[in-house]
């Protein structure tokens, strides 16, 4: 029988995840049952939120079980279909497995249109990170022209879209990132008004204040920790903080502590709100339609950092916490012939 | 010429304020100019927010100047008037001075109707604290029937009103306070469903969890610090936190630190918002109308903790940080004959 490979959770990490937490196993390739589809993975996503799934704690999502294959956003090709909606050769995306092949119910999959762009974008700018950026910025951050918008992890899959959308909205945009290569990309290619390399400042608070002379009206927070501490004192009256992620804290082994922040909200009447892209399920299409229009108009640029080979998926995941990626971090698991050429992968 | 006394800011406190920071001076009684009114103070308010005015830091309000008289909410009698709107004998309220007499522009004063209740209530349940409770709860907290509402400093001037309004709204209400006398008042007289004396628990987190078996939908935060730390893990999905005050932190000499809290907001999609009652200036009357109706219907109870004698005003203020007051903390500066009897001062 045909075989496939899966990455399973070998053990729960304490602090920073390591290769020890992952186990590559070869198993029989599953066969689709009635209404199911067999998908060959072409690209697998790795995302910061996955660190939470490795934890044995109640969260908005079930934790991954030790000894079981992990889940991931996947773009792949349909190999076999027992569902009317799909036929072999279709490109689909969905929440599948860290696996070379997986079966899924037809209603767990969306069709990917290869004419909209490289199919990998269904995991990035035209997928979960893009939709996260779109609704988090517009629904929670709600920038108006002239506002100063700060986004942390601005060179990441979500942050890079947030900043460009905010600019399209008429805001002044400041990003934080962890290398000069990243900040150069933000200002030179994505049109950010300013970018701060937080690894190179003497005083992050001063650096942020200098980059935001009119204070901060919207803070899109992907990072938390000291970067957020530096932005907080700059919040303007009636400013909005959209809490999307806190990657700087995900590997903490003790409860992270820091300056207490709530008193600032009284003076400023600022609003701080967390959100999950899953709450925007019924507005997903609206975001994709707008994002793809911006891409076609060359107003929205993106990058992908592709790690080749399924066996390197843990490396790609661990790299997120090292800040190795510019743009969307992906694993290329198999070749795909349908992409005409990389479009706008600036 | 006639004289009057004022309390002036002698020096800025470092940490907890002391008597050293206050200076009682006798000065010539001021005379009202054109359009001005001379007011004899009957009651003077002391409030936690005043701690912020003693600080030499930018805030939503100007800091008090060293050597100058401090400001306070006052209820008093008009002695002389050069304004058409007022005549001697009228009872008025406004932001005046820590003083036995002060002049004010007519447009800085509101008329107090002694028929609505004891005139002291214009500084409490029918004044700034009551309006703060009303709009903070309804506009920011937005409780719906069946919600669990937690309020800290629940036996204070604001918190006691918040809790009763939330109950009138159909919520289950839990308060925190610092003595058994206070928690008994909350549950036995104000109808709170539960109250936690935070000074007597082995583990505040466990105590709050036990008091809130269905989690927390609205947290009205007057206190901050460890009490807020104990409430935070109980926040339900789409819960609301109204940040009204952080009295536990106001005397801190270093930046207070504590557990980082923002990650909780992602999972729960909770919203945290600060507010100032001054933003509700144009909806003040609406709140007072509702509050006085509840009082007349015996559905809203209040207490006042009255410190007698203008010379004891600093004691009354310092007592706020010791939690000495149940209900509104006031200083009686002069006698007033117009109150028929204390109504509903439960």
- Inter-chain contact A279–B269, Cβ cutoff 8 Å? yes
Interface of A with B (CB under 8 A): 59-60, 221, 224-225, 228, 243-246, 249, 255-276, 279
Closest CA to B339 of B86, B84, B160, B91: B91
By Cβ distance, the residue of B245, B270, B273 closest to A274 is B270
CATH topology of domain A128-278: Rossmann fold (3.40.50)
Instruction: Give the model's confidence band at A58: pLDDT under 50 very low, under 70 low, under 90 confident, else very high.
Output: low
- Inter-chain contact A260–B60, Cβ cutoff 8 Å? no
Q: Which residues contact B226 (CB under 8 A, 6 or more apart)?
A: B198, B204, B248, B258
Residue of A nearest to B224 (CA): A262
**Is the per-residue pLDDT at A127 higher than 90?**
yes
Instruction: Give the model's confidence band at A149: pLDDT under 50 very low, under 70 low, under 90 confident, else very high.
Output: very high
**Has this prediction a pTM greater than 0.90?**
yes
- Phi and psi at A74, nearest 5°, equal -135, 145
Q: What is the DSSP letter of A84?
A: T
- The residue-averaged pLDDT of A199-207 equals 97
- The residue-averaged pLDDT of A192-214 equals 97
**Is the per-residue pLDDT at B63 higher than 70?**
yes
Q: Does residue A331 contact residue A318 with C-beta atoms inside 8 Å?
A: no
Q: Which residues of A touch B276 (CB under 8 A)?
A: 266-267, 269
pLDDT above 70 coverage of chain B, percent: 97
* CATH superfamily label, B3-124+304-332: Medium-chain alcohol dehydrogenases, catalytic domain (3.90.180.10)
Smallest CA–CA distance, residue A303 to chain B, in Å, is 26
**Is the per-residue pLDDT at A62 higher than 90?**
no
* CATH superfamily label, A3-124+303-332: Medium-chain alcohol dehydrogenases, catalytic domain (3.90.180.10)
Test the A interface: residue of B240, B251, B269 with most A CBs within 10 Å: B269
Q: Which tokens is B54 given?
A: 């003693």
* CATH 3.40.50.720 intervals, chain B: 128-278
- Inter-chain contact B259–A256, Cβ cutoff 8 Å? yes
Q: Does residue A23 contact residue A32 with C-beta atoms inside 8 Å?
A: no
Which stretches within chain B are classed as H helix?
Answer: 50-53, 128-135, 159-168, 180-184, 204-211, 225-231, 262-268, 284-296, 313-322
Mean pLDDT over the full length of chain A: 94
**Is the per-residue pLDDT at B189 higher than 50?**
yes
Q: Which residues contact A57 (CB under 8 A, 6 or more apart)?
A: A63
pLDDT at A324: 87
pLDDT at A14: 93
Mean pLDDT over the full length of chain B: 94
Separation of alpha carbons A68 and A59, rounded Å:
18
Q: Give the DSSP per-residue string, B152-182.
A: SSTTBTTHHHHHHHHHHTT-EEEEEESSHHH
Q: Which residues of A touch B263 (CB under 8 A)?
A: 224, 243, 246, 249
Smallest CA–CA distance, residue A159 to chain B, in Å, is 16
- CB burial class (10 A; 0-12, 13-18, 19+) of residue A304? buried
Test the B interface: residue of A266, A267, A275, A279 with most B CBs within 10 Å: A266
Q: Does residue A164 contact residue A301 with C-beta atoms inside 8 Å?
A: yes
By Cβ distance, the residue of A249, A259, A267 closest to B257 is A259
Test the B interface: residue of A240, A263, A279 with most B CBs within 10 Å: A263
Smallest CA–CA distance, residue A317 to chain B, in Å, is 20
By Cβ distance, the residue of B59, B257, B269 closest to A275 is B269
Instruction: Give the model's confidence band at B1: pLDDT under 50 very low, under 70 low, under 90 confident, else very high.
Output: confident
Interface predicted TM-score (ipTM) over 0.85: yes
pLDDT at B337: 83
Report the SS3 class of residue A268.
helix
Strands (E), chain B: 3-9, 22-28, 36-45, 71-81, 91-97, 101-105, 109-111, 148-151, 172-177, 194-197, 216-221, 235-243, 257-259, 271-274, 304-308, 328-332
Q: Which tokens is B194 given?
A: 């539960």
pLDDT at A340: 57
- Inter-chain contact B262–A228, Cβ cutoff 8 Å? yes
- The residue-averaged pLDDT of A307-318 equals 97
Separation of alpha carbons B157 and A335, rounded Å:
68
**Is the per-residue pLDDT at B339 higher than 80?**
no
Query: Vertex A221, ends A218 and A225: CA angle to 5°?
Result: 125
pLDDT at A1: 74
- The residue-averaged pLDDT of A131-153 equals 98
* CATH 3.90.180.10 intervals, chain B: 3-124+304-332
Q: Which residues of B touch A264 (CB under 8 A)?
A: 274
Q: Which residues of B touch A259 (CB under 8 A)?
A: 255-257
Q: Which residues of A touch B271 (CB under 8 A)?
A: 271-273
Instruction: Give the model's confidence band at A116: pLDDT under 50 very low, under 70 low, under 90 confident, else very high.
Output: confident
Q: What is the DSSP letter of B206?
A: H
pLDDT at A34: 96
pLDDT tens for each residue of A297-306: 999 999 999 9
Test the B interface: residue of A140, A220, A253, A274 with most B CBs within 10 Å: A274
pLDDT at B343: 46
Instruction: Give the model's confidence band at A60: pLDDT under 50 very low, under 70 low, under 90 confident, else very high.
Output: low
pLDDT at A343: 45
**Is the per-residue pLDDT at A95 higher than 90?**
yes
Q: Does residue A306 contact residue A150 with C-beta atoms inside 8 Å?
A: no
- Inter-chain contact A262–B243, Cβ cutoff 8 Å? yes
Lowest mean pLDDT among A176-180, A334-338, B96-100, B101-105: A334-338
pLDDT at A59: 63
Chain CA centroid to CA A44, Å: 12
Q: Does residue B159 contact residue B173 with C-beta atoms inside 8 Å?
A: no
Residue of A nearest to B243 (CA): A266
By Cβ distance, the residue of B265, B268, B273 closest to A265 is B273
- The residue-averaged pLDDT of B178-200 equals 97
Q: Which tokens is B144 given?
A: 């719906």
């Amino acid at each position: 029988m045909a075989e496939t490979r899966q990455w399973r959770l070998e053990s729960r990490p304490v602090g920073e995840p390591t290769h020890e937490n992952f186990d590559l196993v070869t198993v029989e390739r599953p066969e689709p049952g009635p209404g199911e589809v067999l998908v060959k993975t072409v690209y697998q996503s790795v995302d910061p939120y996955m660190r939470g799934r490795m934890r044995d704690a109640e969260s908005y999502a079930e934790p991954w079980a030790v000894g079981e294959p992990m889940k991931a956003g996947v773009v792949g090709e349909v190999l076999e279909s027992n569902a009317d909606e799909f036929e072999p050769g279709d490109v689909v995306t969905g929440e599948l497995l860290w696996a070379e092949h997986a079966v899924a119910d037809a209603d767990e999959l969306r069709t990917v249109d290869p004419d909209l762009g490289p199919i990998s974008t269904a995991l990035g700018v035209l997928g979960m990170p893009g939709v996260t950026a779109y609704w988090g910025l517009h629904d929670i951050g709600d920038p108006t022209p002239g506002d100063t918008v700060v986004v942390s992890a601005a060179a990441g899959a979500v942050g890079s879209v947030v900043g460009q959308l905010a600019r399209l909205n008429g805001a002044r945009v400041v990003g934080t990132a962890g290398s000069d290569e990243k900040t150069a990309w933000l200002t030179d290619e994505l049109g950010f008004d300013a970018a701060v390399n937080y690894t190179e400042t003497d005083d992050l608070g001063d650096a942020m204040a200098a980059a935001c002379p009119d204070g901060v009206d919207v803070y899109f927070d992907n990072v938390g920790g000291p970067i957020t501490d530096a932005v907080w004192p700059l919040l303007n009256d009636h400013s909005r903080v959209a809490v999307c992620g806190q990657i700087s804290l995900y590997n903490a082994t003790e409860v992270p502590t820091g300056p207490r922040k709530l008193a600032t909200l009284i003076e400023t009447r600022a609003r701080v709100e967390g959100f999950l892209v899953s709450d925007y399920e019924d507005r997903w299409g609206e975001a994709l339609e707008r994002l793809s229009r911006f891409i076609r108009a060359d107003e929205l640029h993106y990058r992908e950092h592709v790690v080749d080979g399924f066996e390197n998926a843990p490396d790609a995941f661990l790299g997120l916490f090292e800040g190795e990626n510019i743009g969307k971090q992906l694993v290329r698991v198999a070749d795909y012939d349908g992409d005409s050429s990389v479009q706008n992968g600036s």
